[in-house]
């Protein structure tokens, strides 16, 4: 973790001030000990929000609805998410169901449906079972300790929840940033079959927030590869609700902006590496470092050629240090 950043033991998306979350088992996945499949993350006050999404040609309607929320402006109060069903390739019904999920969650927590994003992950080509979602969503209990339950509610074939929180300080002010992610397959080339939600209690300028997330994602989630396949539901959302009541962060030139971006990248990199460690069928983790490249673009190109090579992966899996395969 970067210098000046303090990791919060057991931290999650609810570690920053002003966030609550929770999850329940609705029945979208097979029952089991600790299995949850429907969750809500809520900011107690309106938050600035920005997101990055899958660039696959086929998108889940859940992605479409959340992208609309980004363009509508006016901030956000959180997200409702499910696992077990991707809500993708199901026609117009998928859009209707995604919108209904936001209405159901909004009614439960007492906000407008326009204030909530929606995210889905799981089986493609199957409609959301709205009947059981309607029954279960009002059972989601939101608490300040609900980050772990929310993390479990978005897991699919993940073997464990993935979450983190950290504190960063500058100019006498201290802020907290938390994050959660899921995804262990279809990881390449941009993000993964993944959902990630990041929360911060800083007051961050909207344009700077958007620019910072794009940069952090490009340095983390967009740098990982497991199986060379892209997904329809990739979503990363970043919320900043200002609950710390500290001065606004609006520039990457000042100390506050520099530390914010450093902490944001550190959280994203940690979560990205956790995705790789828990990858479907993965037995090893390989990290590629490029030294001496003329530009960042050249370094990324070289690293991706190596990290996405099936021949190199076979070499690592077989523990055969045949460096000629890299050439």
Catalytic residues: 193
Element holding 72 (H helix, E strand) = helix 61-72
Classified as helix, coil or strand, 24 is: strand
Beta-ladder partners of 177: 166, 200
Angle at 316 between CA 311 and CA 322, to 5 degrees: 70
Token look-up 């390739």 returns 89
Q: Determine the Cα–Cα distance for residues 150 and 237; give it in Å rounded to an integer.
A: 15
Strands 38-53 and 76-85: antiparallel
Q: Determine the Cα–Cα distance for residues 86 and 70; give it in Å rounded to an integer.
A: 20
| Tokens standing for residue 176 | 């907290």
Mutual orientation of helices 61-72 and 92-109 as an angle, nearest 10°? 60
Q: Determine the Cα–Cα distance for residues 64 and 95; give it in Å rounded to an integer.
A: 8
Beta-ladder partners of 82: 38, 120
Beta-ladder partners of 181: 162, 196
> CB burial class (10 A; 0-12, 13-18, 19+) of residue 223?
buried
Contact 76, 239 (CB under 8 A): yes
Whether the bond between 47 and the residue before it is cis, its omega within 30 degrees of 0, is: no
Element holding 66 (H helix, E strand) = helix 61-72
Contact 260, 212 (CB under 8 A): yes
> What letter does residue 325 receive in the DSSP assignment?
G
Q: Determine the Cα–Cα distance for residues 307 and 222; give it in Å rounded to an integer.
A: 12
């Amino acid at each position: 973790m970067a210098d000046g950043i303090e990791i919060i033991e057991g931290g999650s998306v609810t570690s920053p001030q002003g966030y609550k979350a929770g999850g329940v088992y609705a029945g979208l996945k097979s029952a089991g000990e600790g299995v949850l499949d429907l969750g809500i993350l809520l900011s107690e006050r309106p938050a600035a929000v920005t997101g990055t999404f899958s660039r696959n040609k086929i998108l889940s309607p859940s992605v479409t609805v959340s992208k609309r929320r980004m363009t509508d402006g006016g901030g956000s109060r959180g997200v409702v998410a499910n696992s077990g069903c991707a809500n993708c390739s199901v026609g117009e019904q998928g859009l209707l169901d995604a919108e209904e999920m936001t209405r159901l969650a909004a009614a439960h927590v007492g906000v407008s449906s326009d204030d909530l994003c929606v995210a889905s992950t799981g089986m493609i080509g199957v409609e959301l079972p709205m009947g059981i979602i309607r029954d279960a969503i009002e059972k989601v209990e939101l608490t300040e300790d609900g980050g772990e339950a929310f993390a479990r509610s978005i897991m699919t074939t993940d073997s464990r929840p993935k979450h983190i929180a950290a504190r960063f300080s500058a100019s006498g002010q201290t802020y907290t940033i938390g994050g959660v992610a899921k995804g262990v397959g279809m990881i390449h080339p941009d993000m993964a079959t993944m959902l990630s939600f990041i929360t911060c209690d800083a007051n961050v300028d909207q344009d700077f927030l958007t620019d910072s997330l794009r940069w952090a994602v490009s340095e983390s989630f967009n740098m990982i590869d497991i199986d060379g396949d892209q997904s329809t539901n990739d979503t990363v959302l970043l919320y900043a609700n200002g609950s710390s009541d500290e001065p606004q962060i609006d520039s990457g030139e000042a100390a506050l902006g520099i530390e914010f971006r450093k902490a944001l990248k550190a959280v994203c990199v940690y979560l990205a590496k956790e995705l790789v460690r828990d990858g479907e069928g993965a037995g090893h983790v390989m990290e590629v470092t490029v030294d001496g490249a003329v530009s960042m673009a050249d370094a990324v190109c070289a690293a991706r050629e190596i990290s996405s090579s099936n021949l190199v992966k076979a070499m690592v899996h077989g523990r055969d240090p045949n460096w000629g395969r890299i050439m």
